[in-house]
C-alpha cells in the first residue's frame, strides 16, 4: 500500500520536482564546505538526496505503525529516534558504498573522501529530512482520518434517513392498506367498476413507494401524482365524507424535494381529522412559492372530543427527515384551534 497522495507516475514526477530545491540547498552547502568541483558535487549530492527521498517517503509506513497519542508522547519520540537512527545509518551506508563505486570508476576524483569529510553534514540532513517526513505524513494521516470520520458521519446520516423513511412507510402503509383492502373487498360485489379503478390506483400508489424508496429527491409534480392516487382511494372509501380543496401553483411543480413529504401531511389530516368526523369534512391542500421557500399548507376539521395533541408518528418522522436534509432551513408549524388543525411547512426551493 502506497501513500494516498501517490496516485500514479505524474504524482511521483511532481514529488521529484518539488524535491529539487532541497537537493540544490544541500548541494550548495556541500560545495561551500568542501573544495569539490561542481561535477563531483553533482555526482555525490544529487543521487544521494534522491535516494534520501525514498527514505523520506518510507516514513509514511513508520507513521502508520506509530499512531499519534498525546498521552504516550515520550514513547512515540523514542521509537522515532530509533527509526531515524536506523534509516539514516542505512542511507549513509548505502551512500558510502555508492561513493566507493564512483571511486572505482574514476579513482582520481576522490568521491569517498569528499563524502567522509562531509559525513556530519549528511548525517544532519538525514535526521532533519526524516523528521520533516514524519511531520508531513502525520499531517496527511490526520487529514485522512478526518475525511474518514466525515464519510462515516455521512453514511450514518444516510442510514438514519433511510431508517426514518422506512419508519414513515411502516407508520402509513399498513393502516392505509388495511382500510383500502377492506373497502376493495366490499366494492368487488357492489361496484366492480369502482373496484377495478381502486385496484389500479392502489397499484400506482404502491409502485411510487417502491420506486422512490431509495431515491433522495422527487419533484413536487411526482409527489402530487402520488398524493392524488392516495386521495382518490380515500375518496372511494369515504365517499361524500371527504371533500378536497386543492390549490397548487404550477410554477413549483418542477421543484425537487424529499420524496414522501406530502403523504404524512395528508394522511394525518384524514386519519386524525376527517375520518373521525361523523359527517366528514373538507381537506384544504395548498402549495405556493413564498420568497425562497415552497409553502405547503394542509388544513382539516377536527373533533375536539377525539383530537390528538401534538404530532403523530408520521409528522414526527417527517420532521426528523427534514432536519437531516435541510438543517434549520425548513419551518414546520402546527396550529390547532377548536375546529381546525393546520400544518404549515416551508422548505427551501428554487423555481422559474
Tens of pLDDT, residue by residue over 213-266, are: 666 788 899 889 888 888 888 888 888 888 989 899 999 898 888 888 888 888
In tens, the pLDDT along 50-88 reads 999 999 999 999 998 888 887 888 898 999 999 999 999
Domain chopping of the chain, boundaries: 9-151, 191-348
**CATH number at 191-348:** 3.30.565.10
Q: What is the mean pLDDT of residues 332-337?
A: 86
Confidence of residue 99 (pLDDT cuts 50, 70, 90): very high
Greatest mean pLDDT range, 78-82, 143-147, 153-157: 78-82
Q: CB count, 10 Å around CB of 89?
A: 12
Range with lowest mean pLDDT among 54-63, 94-103, 121-130, 148-157: 148-157
pLDDT digits (tens, 9 = 90+) for 27-36: 999 998 888 8
Residue reference for cell 401531511: 265
What is residue 352's predicted lDDT score, i.e. its pLDDT?
A: 44
- Tens of pLDDT, residue by residue over 291-320, are 888 999 999 988 765 555 556 667 887 888
What integer pLDDT is reported at residue 173 of this predicted model? Answer: 55
pLDDT band at 166 (very low <50, low <70, confident <90, very high): low
3-state secondary structure the chain: CCCCCCCCHHHHHHHHHHHHHHHHHHHHHHHHHCCCCHHHHHHHHHHHHHHHHHHHHHHHHHHHHCCCCHHHHHHHHHHHHHHHHHHHHHHHHHHHHHHHHHHHHCCCCCHHHHHHHCHHHHHHHHHHHHHHHHHHHHHHHHHHHHHHHHHHHHHHHHHHHHHHHHHHHHHHHHHHHHHHHHHHHHHHHHCHHHHHHHHHHHHHHHHHHHHHCCCCCEEHHHHHHHHHHHHHHHHHHHHHHEEEEEEECHHHCCCEECCCCHHHHHHHHHHHCHHHCCCCEEEEEEEEEECCEEEEEEEEECCHHHCCCCCCHHHHHHHHHHHHHHCCCCEEEEEECCCEEEEEEEEECCCC
Pick from 196, 30, 40: which is nearest to 105 by CA? 40
Amino acid at each position: 500500500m502506497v501513500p494516498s497522495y501517490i496516485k500514479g507516475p505524474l504524482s511521483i514526477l511532481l514529488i521529484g520536482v518539488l524535491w529539487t530545491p532541497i537537493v540544490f540547498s544541500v548541494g550548495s552547502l556541500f560545495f561551500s564546505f568542501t573544495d569539490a568541483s561542481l561535477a563531483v558535487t553533482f555526482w555525490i549530492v544529487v543521487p544521494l538526496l534522491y535516494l534520501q527521498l525514498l527514505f523520506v517517503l518510507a516514513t509514511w509506513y513508520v507513521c502508520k505503525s506509530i499512531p499519534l497519542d498525546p498521552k504516550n508522547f515520550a514513547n512515540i519520540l523514542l521509537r522515532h529516534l530509533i527509526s531515524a537512527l536506523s534509516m539514516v545509518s542505512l542511507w549513509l551506508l548505502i551512500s558510502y558504498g555508492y561513493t566507493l563505486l564512483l571511486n572505482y570508476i574514476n579513482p582520481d576524483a576522490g568521491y569517498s573522501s569528499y563524502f567522509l569529510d562531509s559525513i556530519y553534514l549528511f548525517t544532519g540532513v538525514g535526521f532533519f529530512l526524516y523528521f520533516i517526513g514524519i511531520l508531513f505524513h502525520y499531517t496527511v494521516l490526520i487529514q485522512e482520518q478526518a475525511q474518514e470520520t466525515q464519510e462515516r458521519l455521512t453514511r450514518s446520516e444516510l442510514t438514519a434517513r433511510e431508517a426514518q423513511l422506512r419508519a414513515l412507510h411502516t407508520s402509513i402503509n399498513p393502516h392505509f392498506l388495511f382500510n383500502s383492502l377492506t373497502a376493495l373487498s366490499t366494492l368487488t360485489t357492489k361496484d366492480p367498476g369502482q373496484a377495478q379503478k381502486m385496484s389500479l390506483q392502489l397499484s400506482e400508489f404502491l409502485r411510487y413507494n417502491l420506486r422512490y424508496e431509495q431515491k433522495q429527491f422527487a419533484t413536487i409534480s411526482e409527489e402530487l401524482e402520488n398524493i392524488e392516487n392516495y386521495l382518490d382511494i380515500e375518496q372511494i372509501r369515504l365517499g361524500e365524507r371527504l371533500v378536497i380543496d386543492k390549490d397548487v401553483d404550477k410554477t413549483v411543480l418542477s421543484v425537487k424535494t424529499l420524496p414522501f413529504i406530502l403523504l404524512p401531511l395528508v394522511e394525518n389530516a384524514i386519519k386524525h381529522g376527517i375520518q373521525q368526523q361523523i359527517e366528514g369534512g373538507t381537506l384544504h391542500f395548498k402549495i405556493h412559492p413564498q420568497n425562497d421557500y415552497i409553502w405547503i399548507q394542509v388544513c382539516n376539521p377536527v373533533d375536539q372530543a377525539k383530537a390528538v395533541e401534538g404530532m403523530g408518528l408520521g409528522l414526527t418522522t417527517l420532521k426528523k427527515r427534514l432536519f437531516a436534509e435541510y438543517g434549520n432551513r425548513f419551518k414546520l408549524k402546527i396550529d390547532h384551534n377548536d375546529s381546525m388543525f393546520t400544518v404549515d411547512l416551508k422548505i427551501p426551493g428554487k423555481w422559474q
